[in-house]
């Protein structure tokens, strides 16, 4: 190697050493150690942790690994120095990975970084959870799988991430609950009768006999979003029987994370805090990193997995000791004394976070709004209250257009597009009285959390509108299906839930005695996407692309933020969905004259004048 290249390489390693010290206070070592630092490869480079483990495990037993979020380096802890030294000699400075088009640079480190919420520590359970390994023998597992196979031959429900079949009571995915007054014709399969006595034998006296069963079928690559099962639907204990394959279930509460390996034939009982307070879910991927006593961390491909989730229907309201996540105790109980704080957290902060992604999805104007904007003559002045990314601007070159929005980032996007906008609160419009010929406010007022604040926004629009001027307002409708015609919002969700008949030959779920290899199965949770997401949320969380339930009017709606090389995150936006005639009632209170009111594809709309 030339001196120039050597000097360049030395500078590169000096940079890596400085980064390790600044980020973790970790010193490197000239002598081989068990800790190997991959200086220029991490999950921020678009490679999965499982791919890294799978590759480096060829050189020896891996005790642990650390993949630092948003960093392009990783740590591997081998079981012995010989393995790390062998890896160093064969890989350092070479093109080692097929899907990584750069040489890998390695360093020995004197210590391994401390792990918060160690993703490879499978020794814990969330409080209240009990795990029974080998709950069934192989013959019993085959009997349960036979029942599952026969169930899926009939009419099953195909969800986005799994197939399900219900006994006792059907789970209603449109409202994350059950119809307690409408049991299914047949009870639970007879084979389920062995579960309660078996738990008693193992020292767990089950409080109630389950009367609802959901059989779940997961294929490799399928997962389940984190959730807490709806409190008001079921009693305390939830039973999860895993069949056919292993899986990792992730439990989270606030910043705490506990991964749990559910081995095939195991039974997990969720009770108390683990049932009511901790979310559980499974990442959608085709393989998992598991710890094997002999091999260390290993990459295991998932196989088809079946789970039996058994629950007892709760009669009446939930009276648990966990009100912060209880739909019965929190229904319509959010704090009206501080509505602006709710909007700040679940509207303003969210839109500033998702603004770029949001703008990419908002480019086509609603036809009737576009017609309204284009109807005004030369010289008219139009105000867009809550203009977002400005998608209603520049469609009528004869008029003057001004926009305002609370989101700093969205107003910046508008300015970058050459539009005249400013940042303001719709409750305090910074404009003169009787100034505008036209005002539009599209999909804005449903983000205001009290009737008083919605009225105040209307009154501000009246104030700045000229006498004889016109206003067009759109708000989200609770009625997403009118005259049996679903809105586009519901139509886009039709692929998420559809009925299908499963060919029995396609899912031959029988297990042979010889098939005892360890595989991570397609995941499960307790297994409905019911309930609410983590934290002390003030309102129920709506399931996207579903009709609003009878109780849902003030809700939180998830927005999945997808960015390149960054893990997908979910953000909750507050909405007050308007019932029929509710928008008109506000207009009458504010002394607007209603020229027209109509329903437009999942929205209630009013055309007004002053």
Does any domain span residue 450? yes
Residue 299 has pLDDT above 60, yes or no: yes
Does any domain span residue 51? yes
* In a shared domain, residues 151 and 261: yes
What is the CATH classification number for the domain harbouring 227?
2.60.120.1520
Q: How far out from the chain centre does Cα 510 lie?
A: 33
Range of the domain at 253: 130-328+521-531
Which region among 173-187, 409-423, 574-588 has the lowest average model confidence (pLDDT)? Answer: 173-187
Q: Which residues contact 397 (CB under 8 A, 6 or more apart)?
A: none
Q: What is the mean pLDDT of residues 74-98?
A: 92
Residue 517 has pLDDT above 70, yes or no: no
* In a shared domain, residues 267 and 382: no
Q: What is the mean pLDDT of residues 429-439?
A: 96
Give the C-alpha separation, 19 to 35, whole Å.
16
Give the C-alpha separation, 553 to 561, whole Å.
24
Which region among 157-166, 455-464, 530-539, 561-570 has the lowest average model confidence (pLDDT)? Answer: 530-539
* In a shared domain, residues 197 and 319: yes
Residue 530 has pLDDT above 60, yes or no: no
* In a shared domain, residues 379 and 454: yes
pLDDT of residue 563: 63
Does any domain span residue 271? yes
pLDDT of residue 511: 32
8 and 91 in contact (C-beta within 8 Å)? no
The tally of domains found in the chain comes to: 3
What is the CATH classification number for the domain harbouring 413?
3.40.50.150
Tokens of 366: 């609603």
* In a shared domain, residues 363 and 316: no
Residue 231 has pLDDT above 50, yes or no: yes
For residue 326, the 8-state DSSP code is: -
Residue 362 has pLDDT above 90, yes or no: no
CB burial string 95-124: b at 16+ within 10 A, e below: ebbeebeeebbbbbbeebbeeeeebbeeee
Return the residue matching tokens 């039996």: 308
540 and 552 in contact (C-beta within 8 Å)? yes
* In a shared domain, residues 321 and 343: no
pLDDT of residue 499: 34
433 and 567 in contact (C-beta within 8 Å)? no
* In a shared domain, residues 585 and 465: yes
pLDDT of residue 105: 93
Question: For the chain, what is the mean pLDDT?
Answer: 84
Residue 523 has pLDDT above 70, yes or no: no
Does any domain span residue 486? no
Q: pLDDT digits over 381-421, tens only?
A: 999 999 999 999 999 999 999 999 999 999 999 999 999 99
- Read off φ and ψ for residue 541, nearest 5 degrees: -100, 125
* In a shared domain, residues 175 and 315: yes
Q: pLDDT digits over 317-355, tens only?
A: 888 888 878 877 765 454 444 677 889 889 999 998 888
Which DSSP string do the residues of 447-467 spell out, in sequence order? G--SHHHHHHHHHHHHHHEEE
Does any domain span residue 151? yes
Does any domain span residue 555? no
pTM over 0.75: no
Does any domain span residue 455? yes
């Amino acid at each position: 190697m030339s001196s120039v290249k050597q000097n360049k390489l030395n500078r590169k390693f000096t940079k890596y050493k400085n980064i390790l010290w600044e980020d973790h206070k970790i010193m490197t070592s000239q002598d081989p150690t068990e800790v190997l630092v991959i200086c220029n490869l991490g999950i921020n480079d678009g490679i999965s942790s499982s791919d890294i483990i799978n590759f480096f495990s060829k050189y020896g037993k891996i005790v642990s690994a650390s993949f630092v979020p948003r960093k392009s380096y990783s740590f591997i802890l081998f079981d012995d120095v010989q393995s790390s030294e062998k890896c160093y000699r064969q890989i350092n400075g070479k093109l080692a990975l097929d899907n990584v088009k750069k040489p890998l640079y390695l360093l020995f480190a004197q210590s391994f970084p401390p792990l918060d919420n160690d993703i490879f520590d499978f020794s814990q359970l969330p409080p209240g959870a009990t795990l029974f390994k080998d709950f069934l023998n192989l013959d019993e597992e085959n009997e349960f799988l036979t029942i599952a196979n026969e169930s899926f031959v009939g009419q099953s429900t195909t969800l986005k991430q799994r197939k399900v079949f219900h006994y006792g009571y059907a789970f209603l995915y449109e409202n994350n609950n059950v119809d307690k007054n409408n049991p299914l014709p047949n009870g639970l399969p007879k084979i389920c009768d062995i579960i309660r006595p078996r738990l008693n034998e193992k020292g767990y006296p089950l409080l109630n006999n389950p009367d609802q069963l959901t059989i779940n079928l997961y294929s490799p690559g399928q997962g389940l979003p984190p959730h807490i099962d709806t409190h008001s639907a079921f009693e305390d204990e939830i039973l999860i029987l895993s069949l056919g394959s292993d899986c990792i279930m992730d439990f989270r509460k606030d910043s705490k994370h506990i991964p749990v390996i559910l081995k095939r034939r195991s039974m997990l009982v969720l009770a108390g805090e683990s049932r009511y307070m901790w979310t559980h879910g499974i990442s959608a991927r085709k393989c998992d990193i598991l710890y094997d006593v002999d091999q260390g961390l290993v990459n295991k491909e998932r196989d088809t997995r079946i789970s039996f989730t058994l629950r007892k229907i709760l009669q009446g309201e939930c009276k648990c000791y966990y009100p912060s996540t209880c739909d019965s105790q929190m229904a319509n109980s959010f704090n009206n004394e501080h509505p602006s704080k709710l909007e700040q957290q679940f509207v303003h902060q969210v839109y500033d976070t998702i603004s770029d992604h949001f703008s990419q999805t908002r480019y086509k104007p609603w036809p009737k709004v576009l017609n309204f904007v284009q109807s005004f003559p030369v010289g008219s002045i139009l105000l867009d209250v809550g203009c977002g990314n400005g998608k209603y601007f520049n469609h009528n070159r004869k008029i003057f257009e001004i926009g305002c929005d609370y989101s700093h980032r969205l107003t910046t996007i508008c300015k970058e597009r050459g539009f005249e906008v400013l940042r303001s609160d719709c409750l305090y419009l910074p404009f003169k009285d009787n100034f505008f010929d036209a005002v539009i406010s599209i999909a804005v007022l449903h983000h205001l959390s009290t009737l008083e604040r919605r009225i105040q926004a209307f009154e501000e629009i009246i104030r700045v509108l000229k006498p004889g001027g016109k206003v067009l307002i759109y708000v989200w409708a609770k009625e997403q299906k009118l005259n049996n015609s679903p809105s586009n919002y519901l139509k886009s969700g039709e692929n998420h839930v559809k009925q299908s008949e499963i060919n029995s030959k396609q899912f031959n779920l029988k297990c042979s005695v010889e098939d005892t290899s360890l595989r991570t199965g397609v995941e499960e949770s307790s297994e409905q996407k019911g309930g609410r997401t983590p934290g002390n949320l003030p309102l129920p969380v709506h399931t996207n692309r579903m009709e609003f339930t009878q109780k849902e009017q003030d809700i939180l709606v998830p927005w999945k933020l997808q960015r390149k090389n960054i893990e997908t995150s979910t953000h909750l936006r507050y909405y007050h969905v308007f019932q029929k005639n509710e928008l008109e009632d506000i207009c009458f209170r504010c002394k607007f004259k209603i020229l027209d009111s109509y329903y437009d594809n999942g929205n209630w709309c009013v055309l007004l004048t002053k």
